[in-house]
Chain A
Amino acid sequence: MLKINNLHASIGDKAILKGINLEVKPGEVHAIMGPNGSGKSTLASVIAGKEEYEVTEGSILLENEDIEELAAEERAHKGVFLSFQYPVEIPGVSVTNFIKTAINATRKAKGLDDMPAKDMLKMIRDKSELLEIDRKFLSRSLNEGFSGGEKKRNEIFQMAMLEPKLAILDETDSGLDIDALRIVSNGVNKLKSKDNAVIVITHYQRLLDYIVPDFVHVLLNGKIVKSGGKELAHELEAKGYDWIKEEVNA
């Protein structure tokens, strides 16, 4: 599904990613952990195609196609989804209107007509039930005045609607109380299938109790320095990151 080879990326003159290698297969869940400033969110943004980052070396392959030259919206059309750590507000644009626009933009890129209103409505109904979303919520302006939990739930709702091949969840657990965490995680688990893949970016092991990863990678100073199974997350929770830093420096 996703193959990242020796990826280097920088913003301005500052190198942030310094040789990332990662392979994600369909049906897998990968967790990327690491201390603040290690490059986790940058990795997510670079995969999604944020323009301010410059890829200086290496490649990103999605289903064996190099997507490095594609614009962010083209990557989205190919099934890349990023759940934002800080979702932006768009005043006056309802959640429904926004997701409708997004779905139809993707359909248009694939040469399809707009989704019939009836189908759209059914899909919205199904997915909002899945995520325990109150229908009233859907008519509110996108993220405007949303609580932290509502914002994240809205991200996962969009993910459910867009049915991506590769979903990257950037710090989805930040700002969530335990109930919201459960609902969001349940949503993600229900959306998981053998055909799609999830990359979970998180500081804490807590989220990984709910969304159980097949692989855990530790990102440090722009490089993946250690990979393992889910038990690695527990180890990090217990011991912190210092021992890995020492291991790397040794």
Chain B
Amino acid sequence: MSKYTEDDLREELKTKEYEYGFFTDIKSETFPIGLNEDIVKAISKKKDEPQWMTDWRLEAFKAWKEMTEPEWANVHYKKPDFQSIAYYSAPVAIDPNKTLDDVDPDLLAMYKKLGISVDEQKKMNNVAMDIVVDSVSVATTFKKTLAEKGIIFMSISEAIKEHPELVKKYIGTIVPIKDNFYAALNSAVFSDGSFCYIPKGVKCPMELSTYFRINQGGTGQFERTLLVADEGSYVSYLEGCTAPSRDENQLHAAVVELIALDDAEIKYSTVQNWYPGNSEGKGGVYNFVTKRGLCEKNAKISWTQVETGSAVTWKYPSCILKGDNSVGEFYSIAVTNNYQQADTGTKMIHLGKNTKSTIISKGVSAGKSQNSYRGLVQIGPRADNARNFSQCDSLLMGNDCGAHTFPYIEAKNKTAKIEHEATTSKIGEDQIFYCNQRGIDTEKAIALIVNGFSKEVLNKLPMEFAVEARKLLEISLEGSVG
């Protein structure tokens, strides 16, 4: 038997297509391409929204028209033509009174392929699912159990109708419609997403989970998530994504707003695995996301993300530490391979006294990819005794990839304590040989080393998610040995 070299491995893996790359042919009702006031109105009408929501969208659209795309990120791509995208697509014939049995069998088969069959989830995982296929929620489970605790967990379209007072009070307060180009666009055309409200003092008894999925070719996906944890409540929210492969680039511009009122705690975990494009850098999702949370007094928001997908990522889950003694955390693993580009990090805005933030960012770059950490730690003048600890580690594989760190620190209060640590390392031939000598093949060795590197972040994920995340890391880095 001849030696199985790195070149063989690389060659073999080149043909390995994206695992979740399939397309389910569900009849969709899609709007004509392009964006104007009429389309915005039509989306709102389609969803049977109240006038205030329509007006809000139109205001956002007006703002968006005046804005230009941000260009400061360390990413290079062909800008999407916003007039060649269809802004609304929904699987047809959705009846909210339907049970799972009535759901399109093709759709159910697709869930199965993804390993997220709702039935299975119901039985095994004790996870309430609000599944979003393209733009409309088609199945919601565990609603009853949650309702008993007074927890509201539904699609944002439903919430706009059923709980307008809550949505109206909070939407756009953390990410204003004029916040940035993509947030404005999202505000104008958001299709659906999730809404969650945890009442005072309630600890949500289960992890809330949403699977997003882009399905229709050429359809932009604009999710809107609003999560409110009332005083003294707790919730852990999971968000996971896979998308079928596409040749043309797909735009994904989500907005997530979190509100943690006094003494509340929100854990928000994401595993992101949008289609990254093929090994030549063709196709793949553009992921331009705005995620931000507000902490009132003694509140805590913890963002954990595992980012392995997308061709281009632009994402900075942030915390505004407004209340005294509030805590913000950001734990991130971003893996890029082939021609992927990621510019991701966080903003920790310390406004209250004794506020604390922790940033642990792990970037793994392979192939010809570029991976950037961009983070802002800002200490306001009133934020006495604010503390931040940041750690940014980069792991490189091969000689053609890049790792970049852009930390910004602005302290306007002399009592602030800010620490920043950064390391860059490379997976060495010696490490690989050491593992090989113990009987561990090269692919497994890389998975082991990367998992070790990412451990501090993986440990922050809920159990089921951590397992999935480990698998994702392995899949994402196959064939990346340098």
A residues near B (Cβ < 8 Å) are: 48-52, 69-73, 76-77, 80-82, 84, 87-88, 90-93, 97-99, 101-103, 105-106, 109, 141-142, 158, 162
Interface residues of B in 427-443 (CB under 8 A from A): 428-431, 433-442
In the bound assembly, the distance between CA atoms of A49 and B1 in angstroms comes to 14
Report the bound CA distance from A70 to B4 in whole Å. 9
**Are A90 and B436 also in contact (CB < 8 A) when A69-B1, A70-B1 are?**
no
Complex partner residue of A76 from B2, B438, B455, CB under 8 angstroms: B438
- Kindly state the separation between the CA atoms of A158 and B437 in the bound complex, as whole angstroms: 11
A69 to B431, Cβ gap below 8 A?
A: no
Q: How far is the CB of B7 from chain A (nearest CB, A)?
A: 11
Asked whether any CB of chain A lies closer than 8 Å to the CB of B409, the reply is no
Instruction: Please give the distance in Å from B274's CB to the nearest CB on chain A.
Output: 26
A87 touches B454 (CB 8 A): no
Interface residues of B in 223-244 (CB under 8 A from A): none
Across the interface, A90 reaches (CB within 8 A) one of B5, B429, B439, B448, namely B448
Within 8 A of A (CB), among B417-467: 428-431, 433-442, 444, 448-449, 451-456
Task: Given contact pairs A50-B433, A105-B444, enumerate 18 new A-B contacts (beta carbons under 8 Å).
Answer: A69-B1, A70-B1, A71-B436, A73-B436, A73-B439, A76-B436, A76-B437, A76-B439, A81-B437, A88-B430, A91-B453, A92-B453, A98-B448, A101-B440, A102-B438, A105-B438, A105-B439, A105-B440
- 20 example contacts (A-B, Cβ-Cβ < 8 A) are as follows A49-B436, A70-B1, A71-B436, A73-B436, A73-B438, A73-B439, A76-B437, A82-B437, A88-B434, A90-B452, A92-B454, A92-B456, A93-B451, A101-B440, A102-B435, A105-B438, A105-B439, A109-B439, A142-B452, A162-B439
Nearest 7 A-B pairs (CB), nearest first? Answer: A92-B452, A93-B452, A72-B436, A92-B455, A102-B438, A76-B439, A106-B439
Q: Are B438 and A98 in contact (CB under 8 A)?
A: yes
Contacts of B434 in A (CB 8 A): 84, 87-88, 90
Which residues of A lie under 8 Å from residue B454 when comparing CB positions?
92
Q: Is the interface of A mostly helix, strand, loop or mixed?
A: mixed
* Whole-angstrom distance between the Cβ of B442 and the nearest chain A Cβ: 8
The distance in angstroms between the C-alpha atoms of A125 and B399, with both chains bound, is: 42
B residues near A77, Cβ cutoff 8 Å: 439
Pick the residue among B428, B435, B452 that contacts A91 (CB under 8 A).
B452
Given A90-B449, A93-B452, are A71 and B438 neighbors across the interface (CB < 8 Å)?
no
Contact-residue bracket for chain B: 20 to 34
Instruction: Determine the chain A residues whose CB is within 8 A of the CB of B438 once the complex forms.
Output: 73, 76, 98-99, 102, 105, 158, 162
**A-side contacts of B1, CB under 8 Å:** 69-70
Residues of chain B contacted by A52 (CB below 8 angstroms): 429
A145 to B226, CA, bound (A): 45
Once bound together, how far apart are the Cα atoms of A109 and B441, in whole Å?
A: 10
Partner of A48, one of B4, B429, B437: B437
A93 to B215, CA, bound (A): 38
A97 cross-chain contacts in B, Cβ below 8 A:
448
Q: How far is the CA of A169 from the CA of B455 in the complex (A)?
A: 31
Q: With a 10 A CB-CB cut-off, give which of B5, B435, B451 has the most chain A CB atoms.
A: B435
B235 CB, min distance to chain A CBs, angstroms: 29
Check B123 for interface membership: any CB of A closer than 8 A: no
Closest to B441 in A: A73
The chain B residue with its CB closest to the CB of A84 is B434
Q: Does B3 contact A (CB under 8 A)?
A: yes
Closest Cβ–Cβ distance, residue B333 to chain A (whole Å): 12
B3 CB contacts on chain A under 8 angstroms: 51, 69-71
Q: Report Cα–Cα, A106/B428, bound state, in Å.
A: 22
Q: State A142–B452 Cα separation when bound (angstroms).
A: 10
Check A69–B2 contact: CB distance below 8 A.
yes
Establish whether residues A88 and B436, one from each chain, have CB atoms under 8 Å apart when the complex forms: no
Closest residue on chain A to residue B429 by CB atoms = A52
In the docked arrangement, what's the CA distance between A137 and B184, Å? 53
Kindly list chain A residues whose C-beta atoms are within 8 Å of the C-beta of B430. Answer: 88
Shortest distance between the CB of B426 and any CB in chain A (Å): 12
What is the CB-to-nearest-CB distance from A221 to chain B, in angstroms, rounded to a whole number? 25
Chain A residue nearest to B430 (CB atoms) is A88
A210-B451 Cα distance, complex, nearest whole Å: 39
How far is it, in angstroms, between the C-alpha of A87 and the C-alpha of B430 when the chains are bound? 9
CB of B439 within 8 A of CB of A88, answer: no
Partner among A71, A73, A101, A106 whose Cβ is within 8 Å of the Cβ of B448 = A101
- Contact of A88 with B431 in the complex, beta carbons under 8 Å: yes
CA distance A102 to B437 in the complex (A): 9
Given contacts A69-B3, A71-B4, A101-B444, contact A92 B451 (CB under 8 A): yes
User: Bound state CA distance, A102 and B440, in angstroms?
Assistant: 6
Find A72's partner among B428, B437, B449 (CB 8 Å cutoff): B437
Q: Which chain A residue shows the least CB distance to B456?
A: A92
Identity of the chain B residue whose Cβ is nearest the Cβ of A75 in the assembled complex: B437
- Write out the residue numbers on chain B whose beta carbons fall within 8 Å of the beta carbon of A49: 436-437
- Rounded to whole angstroms, the CA-CA distance of A162 and B438 in the bound complex is 8
The residues of A that contact B5 with a CB separation of less than 8 Å are 51
Question: Which residues from chain B contact A70 at a C-beta distance below 8 Å?
Answer: 1, 3
Q: Which residues of A contact B439 (CB under 8 A)?
A: 73, 76-77, 102-103, 105-106, 109, 162
How near does chain A come to B460, taking the closest CB pair, in angstroms?
14
Check A93–B436 contact: CB distance below 8 A. no
Residues of B within 8 A of A99 (CB): 438
Q: Which residues of A contact B453 (CB under 8 A)?
A: 91-92
Bound Cα distance A212, B449 (Å) = 37
CA gap between A81 and B1 in the complex, in Å: 21
